[in-house]
């Protein structure tokens, strides 16, 4: 069913190693042939790991870029090359400044050319690619609309480098980088589909659950001008590099029994029975022999001997996942690691309340400040409060006026996307810290249960963060050594739009290595998705009043209320997503014929380090 060759990797790092190795081989092969290698390069969060690995190969393995020419896919228009949003700046910061490439051999579309000259610039870009001998290796990402480069829905197979209007979904997806959709450029210069397809080899990379649906559409669906990535099906040497999350919707991953003979494990059998129940609209215990035969599950039926046996197995397996308060930890030392100062209550507010009632010793460790997710108008409101408080009680006005004066002057002249000065960053951090304390107090935890770690990787003041480093791991390890927890909760989702959750998990995983005794690790999901009932190890029921209390705790995060700065593509507020998702998990069990609950949170027990 896959019309593009796909490689599924264990994680982001494995993708980076494989793709960088292919690029390195391309460079060396071209140089051995006595010519320059020509690379087509992409920007965004997806290729950063590839560029990091190429830099390592340059420094440690002697990979030279002295005889390499590069052509970038695209650039926003208009866009100054020194802007923090510029792809020109991105490429120099993430690759070119760290290797021995000649700047004369670097080609990027211009975001500053006059509109009257844009068409000539695009034609000249095509001519330079042709003069270089064509692209040997093209690196691509894929957008939520299926765009490659900025070839939005409607782009044809014969399209060339041109100025395009950006799709609404694309602009909304980029809004966080620009601190507001209204600041995202409406146009961009991009290589065309035909230009991309002329590359000799293409590697397209996708990571995270939020890409799973469009990956399946690109790989298994018909060629369609509405999904530019489907044109890659016609290319003779394209490889789709995916992590497991991005590959999850592919038929061979989601329903392998529809593709080929499978070896039935207990986990796969449960997935198949739940899938069959969903396809037929029946409860698990009502599935018949005809259902199994008509849906290509005869081999599963043969393994168990009869529909009643396999139905009973699945029903009991699902029922065993349900853990009420009496089956949850009691009297243990527990750390809840929260990437941002609201993920704890959003993702596991119900669990935290139950653990409080079970008299556990709980620490909530906030890994980052979350300060970039505070609107400037919230800061202005607090500055006004500080000024009023200072006047009312005749506080040290010189100190307060100095602080508020610098912050107010900066905010008055701040440009869209400009990095905040330190005072404003600190004010935003303190706003989120006070909200976090209020949130856990709602669930019955004391203020002292909150620990704010402020990991260094996050402290760039920008949406894009530094890689996880030894300092980040050391801070997490110090807390683990101090608390010596029996159980830790970690954000295990890969749908966080900017990767902070994934990077925080990376720091925690590294800190857990060699720790003795090893705590049990439970993974929760963030604001974007929930574990399915088949993926989950434990399903924790919530009564109506427990879900209400959880939502009240979310409300304490006022800076994220009504309109969060980084909502993703879901326009609902976080509490609305939580209510819907927790109720849906319970409803999914109900539809399968199990007991009916009001709402549920889901958790996965992670493998020991």
**Per-residue buried b or exposed e for 226-242, using 16+ beta carbons within 10 Å of the residue's own CB:** ebbbbbbbebeebbbbb
Write the burial class of residue 281 (CB in 10 Å: 0-12 exposed, 13-18 middle, 19+ buried): exposed
| Angle of the 397-413 helix axis to the 376-393 helix axis, nearest 10 | 160
**416's torsion region: left (phi>0), alpha (psi -120 to 50) or beta?**
beta
Instruction: Give the whole-angstrom CA distance, residue 359 versus residue 334.
Output: 11
Report DSSP state, residue 494: S
Read off φ and ψ for residue 362, nearest 5 degrees: -110, 130
The catalytic position among 53, 75, 126, 152 is 152
What length is written for the chain? 609
Please, where are the H alpha helices in 321-469? Answer: 343-357, 376-393, 397-413, 422-442
Strand order in the sheet with 37-41: 5-9, 238-243, 201-206, 137-141, 37-41, 68-72, 106-107
Find tokens 């006026």 and name the residue. Answer: 401
Q: Parallel, antiparallel, or unpaired for β 187-190 and 162-165? A: antiparallel
Strands (E), 518-577: 520-524, 538-542
Residue 332: name the closest of 363, 360, 364, 362 by CA: 360
* Residue 596 is a catalytic residue: no
| Pick from 121, 94, 131: nearest CA to 189 | 121
Other C-beta atoms closer than 10 Å to the C-beta of 466 total: 15
Q: How many CB atoms lie within 10 A of CB 317?
A: 17
E strands in 215-330? 238-243
Count of Cβ atoms closer than 10 Å to residue 470 Cβ: 11
Cα gap 253→260, rounded to integer Å:
11
Distance separating alpha carbons of residues 109 and 128, to the nearest angstrom: 11
Query: Whole-angstrom Cα distance, residue 539 to residue 95?
Result: 44
Closest alpha carbon to 437 in 373, 345, 508, 357: 345
In angstroms, what CA-CA distances link 163 with 112, 159, 171, 199?
12, 11, 15, 21
What is the distance between the alpha carbons of residues 68 and 27, in angstroms, rounded to a whole number? 7
**Rounded to a whole number, what is the distance in angstroms from the first to the last CA of the chain?**
36
Q: Which residues are catalytic?
A: 152
């Amino acid at each position: 069913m896959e019309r593009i060759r796909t490689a599924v990797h264990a994680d982001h790092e494995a993708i980076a190693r494989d793709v960088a190795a292919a690029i390195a081989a391309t460079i060396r092969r071209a140089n051995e042939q006595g010519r320059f290698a020509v690379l087509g390069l992409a920007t965004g969060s997806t290729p950063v790991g590839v560029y990091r690995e190429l830099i390592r190969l340059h420094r440690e393995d002697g990979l030279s870029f002295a005889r390499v020419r590069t052509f970038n896919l695209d650039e926003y228009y208009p866009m100054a090359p020194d802007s923090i949003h510029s792809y020109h700046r991105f490429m120099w910061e993430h690759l070119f400044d760290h290797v021995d490439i000649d700047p004369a051999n670097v080609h990027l579309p211009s975001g500053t050319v006059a509109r009257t000259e844009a068409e000539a610039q695009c034609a000249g870009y095509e001519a330079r690619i042709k003069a270089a001998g064509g692209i040997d290796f093209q690196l691509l990402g894929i957008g939520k609309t299926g765009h490659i480069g900025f070839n939005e829905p409607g782009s044809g197979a014969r399209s060339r480098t041109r100025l395009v209007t950006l799709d609404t979904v694309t602009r909304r997806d980029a809004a966080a980088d620009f601190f507001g959709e209204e600041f995202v450029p409406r146009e961009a210069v991009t290589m065309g589909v035909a230009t991309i397809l002329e590359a000799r080899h293409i590697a397209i990379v996708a990571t995270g659950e939020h890409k799973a649906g469009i990956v399946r559409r690109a790989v298994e669906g018909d060629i369609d001008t509405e999904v530019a990535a489907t044109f890659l099906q016609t290319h003779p040497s394209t490889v789709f590099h995916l992590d497991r999350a991005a590959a999850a919707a592919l038929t061979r991953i989601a329903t392998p029994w529809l593709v080929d003979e499978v070896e039935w494990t207990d986990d796969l059998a449960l997935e198949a029975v739940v899938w069959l129940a969903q396809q037929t609209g029946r409860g698990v215990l009502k599935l018949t022999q005809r259902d199994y035969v008509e849906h290509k599950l005869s081999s599963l039926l043969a393994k168990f001997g009869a529909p009643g046996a396999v139905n009973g197995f699945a029903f009991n397996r699902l029922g065993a996942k349900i853990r009420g308060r009496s089956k949850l930890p009691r009297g243990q030392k527990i750390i809840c690691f929260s990437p941002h100062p609201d993920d704890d209550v959003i993702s596991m507010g119900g669990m935290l309340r139950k653990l409080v009632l079970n008299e556990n010793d709980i620490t909530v460790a906030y890994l980052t400040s979350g300060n970039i997710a505070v609107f400037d108008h919230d800061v202005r409101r607090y500055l006004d409060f500080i000024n009023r408080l200072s006047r009312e009680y005749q506080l040290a006005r010189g100190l307060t006026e100095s602080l508020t004066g610098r912050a107010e002057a900066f905010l008055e002249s701040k440009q869209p996307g400009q990095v905040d000065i330190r005072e404003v960053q600190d004010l935003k951090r303190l706003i989120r810290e006070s909200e976090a304390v209020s949130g856990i107090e709602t669930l019955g935890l004391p203020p002292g249960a909150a620990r704010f770690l402020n990991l260094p990787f996050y402290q760039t003041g920008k949406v894009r963060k530094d890689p996880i480093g030894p300092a980040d791991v050391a801070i997490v390890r110090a807390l683990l050594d101090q608390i010596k927890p029996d159980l830790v909760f970690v954000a295990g989702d890969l749908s966080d739009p900017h990767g902070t959750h994934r990077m925080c998990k990376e720091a925690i995983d590294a800190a857990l290595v060699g720790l003795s005794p090893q705590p049990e690790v439970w993974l929760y999901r963030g604001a974007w998705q929930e574990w399915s009932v088949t993926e989950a190890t434990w399903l924790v029921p919530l009564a109506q009043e427990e879900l209400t209390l959880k939502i009240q705790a979310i409300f304490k995060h006022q800076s994220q209320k009504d309109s969060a700065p980084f909502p993703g593509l879901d326009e609902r507020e976080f509490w609305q997503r939580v209510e819907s998702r927790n109720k849906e998990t319970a409803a999914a069990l109900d539809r399968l014929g199990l007991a009916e609950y009001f709402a549920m949170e889901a958790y996965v027990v992670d493998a020991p380090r």
